[in-house]
Chain A
């Protein structure tokens, strides 16, 4: 359902400048027909999660090749391919890294047998009160401040959450509203002083928070920008001659041209105020409806400057617009060559599937640095993970406070986010607690809506410790059985969801089936880096699986990656702290063999 963007054109070569804005599926089809006129290609400009693309739809095909850019869609297609019993060739690239994997129901691991890291999320208090990394400031600027000022006012917003104290007054929300006829420059400074000055002072008043942390310093606009600017480059409005909202830019207005430059606190403050001014001056109709878009220059300028001022306050290094945009927009770096290599490998694998050449199915990894002289490393697929809840129906365990967590919490945080279900159905025994669908009767819909707001233990069919819940997605043909265990307390930092799903064995590079070691839920595989230098992962980031040895590369901060000091250092590789080795078999057997370092551990079994 995607449309073509300019930034696609450096690698998606079926598209041209003139196609920007058009449907990718349709333009791709037309482009291919130009050099191979006699193929049947049907484009669907639609979301693959659409109910139309059901099991019957997938059954039409001999093979499915994925070129998706998010985990959610990949999991969805994985389930549909399992349900339809159609082979799936998956793939992904980031910078110089990439891989192709193959999945056949019952014969190989499915895409979810190895839990994939979920998109990174941060504890609320880190974002609102105790940021320690620049990315925390970006999230604050984007999801809190930008949302508060320009987004839907009805949305909950944690902007004034303070750790510990109750909020001091009821007027807090009004602070962000611009008063009628308030001078825009004054308004801007007022907001600036409130979030960078006052809020910090309030936070500082809670001694506990800062016992073991560096104290932030409050910043006030009068100290950074003592004089009100009258004319910047003689261009008070900031916009160029055109009134086109999309060309409005604070940088342009202030004569700042280089997105790679790291601005000073003063420059950031100027941009902040100018951007705010331009939003209210030139785009006021959009205010209240805006959501952050990485291609919205003014939004990016605003978020960058806000994040930088906050970073300055907390002693965190500042970043350029270019770097900030990458973080705020979850931009995946990408080049044409890696994509070409992976595309070729995908086709090679697909042909094997069509020829039913099962013995030769391979997972292939494209490395940045050779391992044992290999840049392209084929690996035999593994047998399905018997504990995979997707293809092997393993029951899961959910620890939750049944008296505090609501059904809605369960649906949003577990069923949709962790289990990746799209149109779920939740049952307790024969009682239907919740379902989604177009054909439901009004009273059912009302019933479910009411259920969502209830805590688990007060549902019509109460869910307490020992309850077995069945969660299903009929489209994905996936059923999960969940054992509920009540727990009173959850660690705010480590378990921010207030509930913990567990039960499937992680990638076997982890040790034996030890109850205490069981993972925390999708995304917290043991192979994730845990130190403070953790690199933010983008949703699209397809990581090379844990058990392939990648030559250890120093983990780099995002700021370093954007600078000119190294060809795309492998963010993917950095994620894999593997202890296993790649070995070549003796003799001339050409297949590279992956084995676990420790022979006592559970071995994933090779197919042959």
Chain B
């Protein structure tokens, strides 16, 4: 195989996408290493997308076992019990993903991601986590930030017919061609912790309601010691109470976080497959942009709600946070 040139196999297979982002970007993709934690339906979609795109490697972390919920939203899991029994979600997804593109190295890493050392993350260009507690989100984000080389960090979660993506590219430089010259851009991203400590009253009035709703649920789950998405209708009063508490502390009118939205998120803890496809697609595209260094990356939250059909970008950064 030529060192730098794409092989004939790659040129043939990737022809249609090379026409979108060019040979150079395709080469960079083939060298990229992606870590993924939490094999939700959305993450399955995301993995499918980047494997098809031809990344260098994908490493999966999820020691969980198959549940009804997983079967309903994760298309990588074979529905045959004799096949999935005794195997972890990561193992099952790994087997399925390999079939999509033999040129991508797909593997499993066992263990609890919160216990992985910082240098483990240095092996990757991109880290994507899903279905993690607030504490874990902050922890992994911090570990990625402590590395010398920049690791792109993403959080993705879907509940009911909604989806949220968070992006942290730290300090990100890229070039864009404007007319005939190449212009360099630099974006500075806050960490997840920094972003969510932005005082609510400082955010624009029309900020997506879903942002606030997800934070309320996040805080509720943390306070109650729940696993992510471990809520039910019985928790609604408790969640509304948490909303009241947070809104008072943040001087935000409670009507900004509608009851109906909270109820949907509290009750509808399962993922909705078409939303997984939408979010997995958006996330896939973001990761490809960052690996290839081409295209304006999303900064720093993306929200989608199938109820209104809008896919919105919100830039939530705390001007007061210490840099």
Contacts and interface: CB of A to CB of B under 8 A. Distances in A.
Contacts of A567: 20-21, 25, 289, 292, 294-295
Nearest to B305: A590
Interface stretch (A209-217, A375-383, A493-501): A375-383
Nearest to B314: A373
Contact of B278 (A6, A36, A344): A344
Contact of A347 (B77, B273, B307): B273
A565 B177 contact: yes
Nearest to B179: A554
B203 interface: no
A563 interface: yes
B19 A326 contact: yes
Contact of B16 (A258, A259, A333, A565): A333
A35 B19 CA distance: 32
Contacts of B306: 348
B313 A378 contact: no
B274 interface: yes
B300 to A, nearest CB: 12
A370 interface: yes
Contact of A334 (B16, B22, B295): B16
Contact of B302 (A347, A375, A378): A375
Nearest to A335: B17
Interface stretch (A7-15, A404-412, A432-440, A467-475): A7-15
B20 A95 contact: yes
Contacts of B161: 348
A364 interface: yes
Interface string B113-141: 00000000000000000000000000000
B78 A336 contact: no
Contacts of A259: 11
Interface stretch (B30-38, B48-56, B188-196, B241-249): B48-56
A568 B179 contact: no
Contacts of A36: 79
Given A336-B52, A373-B314, A565-B177, A378 B276 contact: no
A377 B294 CA distance: 23
Nearest to B298: A375
Contacts of A333: 16-17, 19-20
B53 A10 contact: yes
Contact of B13 (A10, A326, A339, A554): A10
B310 interface: yes
Interface string A555-583: 00000011111111000000000000000
A543 interface: no
Contacts, number: 169
A426 interface: no
A31 to B, nearest CB: 10
A37 interface: yes
Nearest to B8: A257
Interface string B297-312: 0100010101111111
B211 to A, nearest CB: 12
Nearest to A15: B100
Contacts of B100: 13
Contacts of A364: 309
A196 interface: no
B236 interface: no
A7 B13 contact: yes
A373 B210 CA distance: 15
A564 B25 contact: yes
Contact of B281 (A258, A341, A351, A592): A341
B180 to A, nearest CB: 10
Nearest to A346: B274
B15 A7 contact: yes
B25, B282, B302, most chain A CB atoms within 10 A: B282
A103 interface: no
A344 B277 contact: yes
A339 B25 CA distance: 19
A354 to B, nearest CB: 13
Contacts of B288: 337
Contacts of A6: 12-13
B154 to A, nearest CB: 14
B75 interface: yes
Contacts of B313: 370, 373-375
A16 interface: yes
Contacts of A377: 310-311
Given A11-B16, A336-B52, A344 B275 contact: yes
A331 interface: yes
B296 interface: yes
A369 interface: yes
Interface in A31-73: 34-37
A450 interface: no
Contact of B311 (A7, A376, A565): A376
Contact of B99 (A16, A345, A362, A568): A16
Nearest to B52: A336
Contacts of A591: 308
B14 interface: yes
B11 A10 contact: no
Contacts of A322: 18
A320 to B, nearest CB: 11
B20 A336 contact: no
A338 interface: yes
Contact of A337 (B75, B177, B281, B296): B281
Interface of B: 5, 11-25, 45, 48-49, 52-54, 75-79, 99-100, 102, 161, 176-177, 179, 273-278, 280-282, 284-285, 288-289, 292, 294-296, 298, 302, 304, 306-314
Closest 6 CB pairs of A and B: A376-B311, A344-B277, A564-B22, A378-B309, A340-B281, A333-B19
Given A9-B52, A565-B177, 18 more contacts: A7-B12, A10-B13, A10-B54, A11-B16, A11-B17, A335-B20, A337-B282, A343-B274, A351-B274, A369-B296, A374-B312, A376-B312, A377-B311, A562-B22, A564-B25, A566-B176, A567-B25, A567-B292
21 contacts: A6-B12, A10-B52, A11-B16, A36-B79, A95-B20, A257-B5, A331-B19, A334-B20, A336-B53, A337-B284, A340-B281, A343-B274, A344-B273, A345-B278, A345-B309, A347-B274, A348-B278, A375-B312, A564-B23, A567-B295, A592-B310
